[in-house]
Structure 1
């Protein structure tokens, strides 16, 4: 069984760390994991896309289009940009808050991300929208959105990893003083996804 996950955001959101946590958790349970990043002017707010593939028969770290089980979108427009990778029946986990790209700021665009949600709802078989601001506020840090989204993806059941496996990965990959903070963010993200899924049933 192969699990393909795309993580898409902008520079500074922790996209690469999130992909490393997924890979670490998979390797800890004896699975093969390959990752690759496509980074475009990330330090200036450009897009960052990480590919994570888990499974026995993985010959390339790059995920083919229409093959991703999960898309984790750190920003609505970036999630839309990666939708061609999502397979039929896949899940999109998306942060509600938009980050205006430099081009939008220069052109006085009114982009706020809300216009992306109906399209995501239409195109993704399953959409989990996460209120990242609310979770970050509850955790006391604006830097844990990446881990909160991981928690939501885990709760979707499509990532193939358990919360405990991701917590162990956090303990290995995150500095000791930030482990508790990130663990809380993981739990809050999973809780938010579970509540949303219950409401839809």
Structure 2
């Protein structure tokens, strides 16, 4: 069994934490795992891409273009940027919320969410698109967007371990003072794609 997951977002969204939770959950069930992160020049709101590869075989930590099974997109434009990583039939779970880059704020470039959404719908076979940031805010903070996305992923029967196992790893990794908020975000993500 092999599963390649790309997580695309911007700095401050918890991209790296989400990849570490997925990887640790896989290791705990005895699967080999390799991970990689590409972090933008700005810590906050710079592009961040994490790659998690789990399962047997001889492979590097970097997922070649056209090979990813799953794309978790924490920010709309970064999701579009990562589409080249997907294989045919891959699943995309994307946050419809946007974070405008500084170049847009300064008037040097433009950002058109409706065009990005249309592109995703046209270029992907299996798309789950919803406002994960809004759900994270409902749980208590936008910073829990990553947990909303993990919750959504846990419903789709793609992971080589159960949703309960993923949730238990998450509970262990998250500091106690933030645990309840993140568990709520996880549950809201499950509900967003039809899970209980």
When normalised by structure 1's length, the TM-score is: 0.91
Deviation at 1:161, TM superposition (A): 3.4
Instruction: Report the counterpart of residue 56 of structure 2 in structure 1.
Output: 56
Q: Aligned equivalents of 1:44 and 1:141: distance in 2?
A: 16
Of 95-104 and 174-183, the range deviating more from structure 2: 174-183
**Could you give the per-residue CA deviations for residues 128-177 of structure 1, whole angstroms, max 9, x where no partner exists?**
01212331232122210001011112222223332111111112211112
Matches within 5 A, 1:27-46: 27-46=27-46
Residue 190 of structure 1 aligns to a residue whose secondary structure is helix
Matches within 5 A, 1:126-145: 126-145=126-145
Deviation at 1:15, TM superposition (A): 0.3
Q: Aligned equivalents of 2:85 and 2:38: distance in 1?
A: 14
Distance change in 2, residues 1:82/1:111 (3 Å) = same
Residue 17 of structure 1 aligns to a residue whose secondary structure is helix
Q: Is the 8 A contact 1:71 1:93 kept in 2?
A: yes
Instruction: Report the counterpart of residue 95 of structure 2 in structure 1.
Output: 95
Residue 61 of structure 1 aligns to a residue whose secondary structure is coil
Q: How many residues get paired?
A: 195
Instruction: Report the counterpart of residue 189 of structure 2 in structure 1.
Output: 189
**Could you give the per-residue CA deviations for residues 81-100 of structure 1, whole angstroms, max 9, x where no partner exists?**
11011111101111011110
Q: Aligned equivalents of 1:87 and 1:131: distance in 2?
A: 24
Q: CA RMSD in A?
A: 1.5
Q: Aligned equivalents of 2:9 and 2:56: distance in 1?
A: 28
Q: Which consecutive segments of 4 or more residues in structure 1 shift more than 4 A?
A: none
Q: Aligned equivalents of 2:42 and 2:165: distance in 1?
A: 29
Matches within 5 A, 1:11-30: 11-30=11-30
Q: Is the 8 A contact 1:69 1:159 kept in 2?
A: no
Q: Is the 8 A contact 2:63 2:85 kept in 1?
A: yes
Instruction: Report the counterpart of residue 121 of structure 1 in structure 2.
Output: 121
Which runs of 5 or more residues in structure 2 are unaligned? none
When normalised by structure 2's length, the TM-score is: 0.93
Which runs of 5 or more residues in structure 1 are unaligned? 196-201
